[in-house]
Amino acid sequence: MKIYGYKREDGRFGIRNHVIVLPTSVCSSETAVRISNLVDGTVALPHQHGCCQVGADYEQTVRTLIGLGKNPNVAAVLVVALGCEGIQPGVVVDGIKASGKPVESVVIQECGGTLKAIGKGAEVLRKMVQQASLAKREEFDIGDLMLGIECGGSDATSGIAGNPVVGFVSDMLIEAGGTAMLSETTELIGAEHILARRAVSEEVANKLLEIVDRTEQRSISMGVDIRGSQPTPGNIEGGISTIEEKSLGCIYKAGTAPINGILEYGEEPHSRGFFVMDTPGQDIESITGMLAGGCQIIIFTTGRGTPTGSPIAPVIKVTGNSSTYNKMIDNIDINAGKIIDGGVSLQECAKEIFDEMVEVCNGKLTKAELLKHNEFAIFRVGYTF
């Protein structure tokens, strides 16, 4: 099947044509936002990190920033740095440049402070945007699409309708030669043994069990009951009693395809097919990881309803709860609650979601995009020093 997108220098295809302003640290985030505000067609990705981080935590933030810049939905990147932060601008610029796309940087301490950085940045950015605006969509095979699957604000319908139907969509994409990924390791606790049976090798199965154990051990080493936040109060009100129950419902969205590999947070898959990425259950951080890994689109199932979007990718919202669809009509694109209400089969609803995904790839805006929901957060695995 053919869809239409923007061919990037590295051969990948974007389904959006964003020019992003990417701060290297919390210290340059405010300036990055102000630069972006001056130039139409741009989006800033402000965050709280990038300085006084060490080891795996530092590496993960760097990998994420570079991965977001390389994402095929991004046409060009303006990196904004303070100058003295832990994540040096050159590291991020060079990492993104490897993709061949236009990357420029502004360093606040080198150009005279806030006002001059804003002026210089806006000057660079408007040229980038004008250049990006010349890009035309061209035909590409849906096999080049990478789908990130997310669920948030789950309730009992998530495991009955929302997740199973999206699992079917994932299988359809894999069947067409594409790539999809499941994430949210916390929400595999209690269901990992089922997923592990689908791993293509013992090594992949063991890695899957290892990331789940690693996540569970975090709560155990803290001496806390994970039920302090998993399931969430909304999950519980929606009928989910334990993390095991939540997880068993969550994994339906992974469909039935063999699991080709386990990815670190923000890591790109080495081949097509189905993958699991090690991210937390917190939706925004999880989505960021999958986008840094190269996903161009997210399908997000929700039982309670959530507005979450992304600055660089369309997020299609699906609920398995008809009542929630009506209560959160501003934010939810597709009602899969009709599977429970009766009259529509899972397969029919999966076809509807797949068709919507294709339309969104071709340019149709999702509700999250229309309402400028640009939620963005990066997962940390260490302390700030």
Q: Which residues bind other proteins (CB under 8 A)?
A: 155-157, 159-160, 186, 189-191, 194, 216, 219-227, 230, 236, 238-239, 241-245, 248-249, 303, 321, 323, 339-342
Considering the complex, state which of residue 235 and residue 296 has its C-beta at the smaller distance from other proteins.
235
The least CB distance from residue 247 to other proteins, in Å, is 8
Burial 215-245 (b: 16+ CB within 10 A, else e): bbeebeeeeeebeeebbbebbeebebebbeb
Nearest-approach distance from CB 235 to other proteins, in angstroms: 10
For residues 68 and 377, what is the distance between their CA atoms, to the nearest angstrom? 12
| Smallest distance from other proteins to CB 253, Å | 13
Q: Which is nearer to other proteins, 219 or 288 (CB)?
A: 219
Q: Which is nearer to other proteins, 183 or 230 (CB)?
A: 230
Tell me how far, at minimum, the Cβ of 211 lies from other proteins, in Å: 14
Kindly list the distances between the CA atom of residue 129 and the CA atoms of 70, 100, 105, 234, 380, in Å, as whole numbers in the listed order: 17, 17, 15, 41, 31
Q: How far is the CB of 338 from other proteins (least distance, A)?
A: 10
Nearer to other proteins, 71 or 219 (CB): 219
Task: At 265, list the tokens.
Answer: 């947070």
Q: How far apart are CA 342 and CA 384, in angstroms?
A: 51
Q: Indicate the residue among 116 and 193 with the shorter CB distance to other proteins.
A: 193
Amino acid in the structure at residue 158: S
Helices 114-132 and 26-38 cross at an angle (nearest 10°) of 60
Quote the least distance from Cβ 354 to other proteins, whole Å: 21
Closest CA to 21 of 90, 74, 98: 74
Q: How far is the CB of 182 from other proteins (least distance, A)?
A: 16
Closer Cβ to other proteins, 340 or 377, answer by number: 340
Choose between 127 and 227: whose C-beta lies nearer to other proteins: 227
What is each CA distance from 227 to 120, 219, 235, 278, in whole angstroms? 49, 10, 11, 20
- Per DSSP bridges, beta strands 315-319 and 13-14 are unpaired
CB of 242 to other proteins, least distance (A): 4
Which CB atom, from 238 or from 273, has the smaller least distance to other proteins? 238
Give the DSSP H or E segment for 13. Answer: strand 13-14
Q: Residue 224 has which token pair?
A: 């806390």
CA 6 vs CA 16, 99, 128: distances in Å: 7, 14, 15
